[in-house]
Amino acid sequence: MAHCVSAEAEKILDKEFPVLDKGFIRLVDYLGSDERVVQSARVSYGEGTKSYREDAGLIDYLLRNRHTSPFEQVVLTFHVKMPIFVARQWVRHRTARLNEISGRYSVMKDDFYVPEAGDIALQSGDNKQARGEALPPDKAEGFRAAFEAGQRSSYGEYVRLIDSGLARELARINLPLSLYTEIYWQIDLHNLFHFLELRLGAHAQKEIRLYAQTLLDISRKVAPRCCESFERHVLGAAVFSKDEFLEIKRRLRGESGILEGSALARLEEKLK
């Protein structure tokens, strides 16, 4: 099997999938598919692709037992347009190759992210990195207007600096994190799954969760069985510490538990 082609992936190449108000993700290219994963896993004893059920079972086995190298055989390249504050979280994952539009070479577009009214909230009282309950519509619209006014002012000053002849690399430095940027991002399936596991988590910021969900939807077109296995064994699973696992075993045997306080709270949160 010299070259794997996914008919569903071919249908969506270069198609824009919208995210947020002005963002998108495009699948630019891909290498490999489900078939490449099972083929590379079986290379040690020379057997080719088998039935759908056997291939799906092998993929489950590989993912469940952390045999990750076959998944690295599948590579996807995305074109992503996102706000800079999302990009700064995105590039924390250092297992991909990327190239970003440069404000040193290009005049940046007047594209800024403004949250929907339902996504505007005050700071959470018990989570230092998250928002709390959404604000009433009238107050939320006031904050939306403040975002837009600040963006107009910042971009207007940027244009004035550009028009005055100031170097683009200097004119850009006061532009806000809400400005949209664009990247080409290439990653293998194993590391994409790690990205998705973290960025689809409940503690991830909503904006990057929306991008992660779109990435998963697109990736299903390339490697549907791998993505199905990922959702079943990783995304829909929980990892327990040694003490948590012993606590579960005690409770299943009808014995009293010994975890308490924050340790018990963490276990109960995982079991929700």
Whole-number pLDDT of residue 45: 47
Shared-domain flag, residues 217 and 252: no
218 and 157 in one domain?
no
Which amino acid is located at 105 in the chain? Y
Q: The pTM is what?
A: 0.91
What per-residue confidence (pLDDT) applies to 2? 66
The active-site residue out of 199, 209, 220, 232 is 199
Instruction: Verify that 118 and 108 share a domain, yes or no.
Output: no
Asked if residue 73 and residue 19 are part of one domain, the reply reads yes
pLDDT of residue 44: 56
Q: Are 243 and 263 in contact (CB under 8 A)?
A: yes
pLDDT for 117-166, tens place per residue?
999 999 988 878 888 888 999 999 999 999 999 999 999 999 999 999 99
Average pLDDT for the chain: 92
CATH code at position 42: 3.30.1360.170
Q: What is the pLDDT of residue 133?
A: 86
Are 56 and 50 spatial neighbours (Cβ–Cβ below 8 Å)?
Answer: no
Q: What pLDDT digit, counting tens, does each position of 92-118 carry?
A: 999 999 999 999 999 999 999 999 999
Q: Indicate if 199 belongs to the active site.
A: yes
Q: Which of 147, 153, 165 lies closest to 107 in space, CA to CA?
A: 165
Q: Quick one: 68 and 169 in the same domain?
A: no
Of 14-23, 77-86, 98-107, 255-264, the poorest mean pLDDT is in 255-264
160 and 202 in a single domain? The answer is no
| 149 and 170 assigned to the same domain | yes
The pLDDT assigned to 231 comes to 95
| Count of the separate structural domains present in the chain | 3
> Is the pLDDT reported for residue 80 higher than 60?
yes
205 plus 261 within the same structural domain = no
Kindly state the average pLDDT of the residues 54-76: 92
| Integer Cα distance of 240 and 243 in angstroms | 8
* Statement to judge: residues 33 and 80 lie in one domain: yes
Residue 267 is part of which domain span? 240-272
- Please indicate, yes or no, whether residues 85 and 195 belong to a single structural domain of this protein: yes
